[in-house]
Chain A
Amino acid sequence: MALLGRFLSPRITKIIGSQARQLSSSSSRQNVDRPQFPGSRSEYSTKLEFIKPDDFKGIPVYRVMNAKGEIIPGGLDPKLDKETVQKMYHSMTLLNTMDRILYESQRQGRISFYMTNYGEEGTHIGSAAACDPQDVVFGQYREAGVMMWRGFTLDQFMNQCYGNCEDIGKGRQMPVHYGSKDLNFVTISSTLATQMPQAAGSAYALKRAGKKLCVICYFGEGAASEGDAHAAFNFAATLECPIIFFCRNNGYAISTPTSDQYRGDGIASRGAGYGMDTIRVDGNDVFGVYNATKAAREMCVKEMRPVLIEAMTYRIGHHSTSDDSSTYRKKGEIMSWDDQSPIHRLRNYMENQGWWSDEQESAWKEKSKKKVMEAFARAEKRKKPNPEMLFTDVYDEMPPRIQKQMEFMKSHCTQFKEHYPFDDHVPMT
């Protein structure tokens, strides 16, 4: 030690000295040679042994309700009241109805693009119901159910898809890129996984502001391969951010099956590597999702650290209206999942409780379809925004150069007005 001390700074010598004293004072640990590397906290081993991923059983899938809508013995029934459960069911089925109608409208060329949520409604509603409405949501694009739960109106959904003058986003983004400040849902962008480290930053800001809130950040298993996912997990863990990372593992990223996406045990197995508490849940079991999210939220807010939830599910619909999934998967595969859908399961549960009947089902189906059709018709009739909105909000204030370009556009389009779709738009000033 004395010899070492000649080469080390006094501070380091002091630390080593105190560690040495600690070791010698503990009789059980006498002469134990422990690694002192700053980068880990493990013990030495003389076994030349590689850690094999196959040595571990896969992380189990947590669920509380089976396909028949029965609470499995030992499963924790969240005992939600009838009103809440019916709201869950209404939201899931209304989303489903909206999906069918907007999907069809894209096929008819009435909107340019659409992405359905088939099969994943349970992940949206279960998690949204477990969060505080003030919790901030960062999504990918297949989480419309979260907005549905929070009260985004059918008109608001439709206005965005049509990019009309009532659209909150002013008609600038593609359909399904929703956002609402009132509902604390940060506007969707197409770039995959970019929202993940952003969500960590927002969670950090909420923590500093002393709010007892968390951020919930949704992403697919494909997006989890992006570098931004890695950054997000690592930043959230090291900077102790109250954030729930919610992965929708639906088996496919467009045509890419998970076997081409990763070789580990899904996304959940990565959680511990980043130092995050992690759970895998049956995404088609809305109560399982609810329980997991509720517990995760509590940990986030109380202990100020991130939690990872991987919800296993199946993408029943095509990736988007620009995709024909029959070119890479068989119809039978899809059909088998349709029967296990979260909607069927919750309906079975409600029927078991005597909370839902066939009559209610058909009445609700009709009602929800009517509501969607009405909103659809209203949205289709509205004009598109004033073309000047092409130039606003690039910056908080319009720089002179952009101002000039706007004036140019106006004068050009007025001069050649028969070649531009003025009739579809709110007039320019």
Chain B
Amino acid sequence: MSWKFLRCLQNARFLKKNLQTSLSVHRCVSVQYVPDTISAAHGETTRMNLVQAINNALDIALSTDPSAVLFGEDVAFGGVFRCSVELKDRYGRDRVFNTPLSEQGIVAFGIGVAAMGSTAIAEIQFADYIFPAFDQITNEAAKFRYRTGNIYDCGKLTIRAPTGAVGHGALYHSQSPEAFFAHIPGIKVVIPRGPHQAKGLLLSCIRDQNPCIFFEPKILYRSAIEEVPSGDYTIPIGQAEILLEGDDVTLIGYGTQIHVLREVANMAQEKFDVSCEVIDLRTILPWDEETVINSVKKTGRCIISHEAPITMGVAAEIAATIQDECFLNLEAPVMRICGYDTPFPHAFEAFYLPDKWRCLEAVKKIVNYG
């Protein structure tokens, strides 16, 4: 499907140096990755990048659930991003296997496996290619329990897909399609911000009794490195996390963008003495209204940011809910700093993305409003 692209990505491995603190692929994407701090209660930890954390979660899922199967395009040899590396050797080719190249087939096959009570972990090679499976996701997976009156369900289905900008992915290796799926009652949509989150959230998705879509920010696959608990743990779905407490402005995001917002919060503090509260949404559907509302009630100002195009994006839903719930607390209109309403471009990626400077300008505007 995209071998040329993948070769480029593999060539990009030279970027490993200094990855822990900063990353710049083709000068387009600049992300300062701040590792999660793991509480001592989690026990032993191992240093992992996002790929290794995903691989580790899949390993645990397969070892703790004999019904679990992992499949998709090119997963048997380890996956084009190496997320399923060595799993076929460990669990056998009937549990970790390639499928024909057909996304609608992959998702439907997973629904069928899950309908029989087995755990199905399906991989879509890039989120950009999930659309052929849209019908199976929205009309079938999401509605399976409801329409059958709860006699059949496909709750044990999880769909994983790499998502988001990667520096040079252009139209079909960069998309963030979460808003399309956020409009589908019956599924859960989850996006982690790094290895520790990814492992815990992915294990939750796999074990959740509802069909889940797990989008993995591919720019972080090798660049995000941190200590990850070695054992089996989960992070609850449907709960946002306050990463940075602040009083003046609430910054909401998810996935890679959360790291942009973190940097913006630091810059805002330094440059304008503005205190930002940064919230990682983590789950797009069903999203954590309570955490968001409480934060905005406190700060009175809110900026929501995502890579996906602005019109009808996830930020629109959050903004609408905030004006509904926090009307009397708002000191300025809710702002959305998002991708433009264009396809994702190749040569113009730096101008397209809602980078830290665009977000910083928004902070400046929102505190000076009126």
Contact = CB atoms under 8 A, between A and B. Distances in A.
A231 B104 contact: yes
A267 B301 CA distance: 61
Contacts of B104: 197, 227-228, 231
Q: Which of A187, A197, A235 has the most CB of B within 10 A?
A: A197
A239 B112 contact: no
Contact of B116 (A194, A202, A392): A202
A396 B145 contact: yes
B111 A186 contact: no
Nearest to B103: A231
Given A201-B111, A201-B112, A208-B69, A181 B152 contact: yes
A255 interface: no
Contact of A194 (B110, B139, B286): B139
Interface string B285-324: 0100110000000000000000000000000000000000
A57 interface: no
A146 interface: no
B108 A191 contact: no
A178 to B, nearest CB: 10
Contacts of A232: 105, 108
A28 B51 CA distance: 52
Contacts of B136: 194, 197-198, 228
Contact of B151 (A180, A197, A202, A402): A180
A232 B111 CA distance: 12
B118 A209 contact: yes
Interface magnitude class on chain B: 35 or more
Contact of A181 (B97, B151, B155): B151
Contacts of B69: 204-205, 208
A199 B143 CA distance: 17
B21 interface: no
A391 to B, nearest CB: 10
Contacts of B22: none
A228 B117 CA distance: 22
B12 to A, nearest CB: 25
Contacts of A179: 148-149, 151-152
Given A189-B140, A228-B105, A231-B104, A393 B112 contact: no
Interface string B129-140: 000100110011
Interface magnitude class on chain A: 35 or more
Interface string A115-138: 000000000000000000000100
A167 B97 CA distance: 39
Interface string A194-216: 10111111111110110000000
Contacts of B148: 168-169, 179, 186-187
A341 interface: no
Given A202-B115, A208-B67, A189 B108 contact: no
A230 B102 contact: yes
Contacts of B290: 400
A231 B152 CA distance: 22
A179 B100 CA distance: 30
A249 interface: no
Contact of A231 (B105, B147, B150): B105
B149 A169 contact: yes
B200 interface: no
B348 interface: no
A180 B149 CA distance: 10
A227 B132 contact: yes
A196 B108 CA distance: 8
Interface in B273-294: 286, 289-290
A400 B117 CA distance: 26
Given A198-B115, A235-B100, 9 more contacts: A136-B116, A168-B151, A197-B104, A198-B112, A200-B108, A231-B102, A239-B99, A394-B145, A402-B185
Interface of A: 136, 167-170, 172-173, 177, 179-181, 186-187, 189, 191, 194, 196-206, 208-209, 227-228, 230-232, 234-235, 238-239, 392-396, 399-402
Rank and list the top 7 A-B pairs by shortest CB-CB distance, nearest first: A201-B112, A231-B105, A197-B108, A198-B112, A201-B109, A205-B116, A399-B286
Interface of B: 67, 69, 94-95, 97, 99-100, 102, 104-105, 108-118, 120, 132, 135-136, 139-140, 143, 145-153, 155, 185-186, 188, 209-210, 238, 286, 289-290
29 contacts: A169-B149, A179-B149, A179-B152, A181-B151, A187-B151, A194-B135, A198-B115, A201-B111, A202-B112, A202-B113, A203-B112, A204-B113, A205-B116, A208-B94, A209-B116, A227-B104, A231-B104, A231-B109, A232-B105, A234-B105, A235-B99, A238-B100, A239-B97, A392-B150, A395-B145, A396-B145, A399-B238, A401-B286, A402-B185
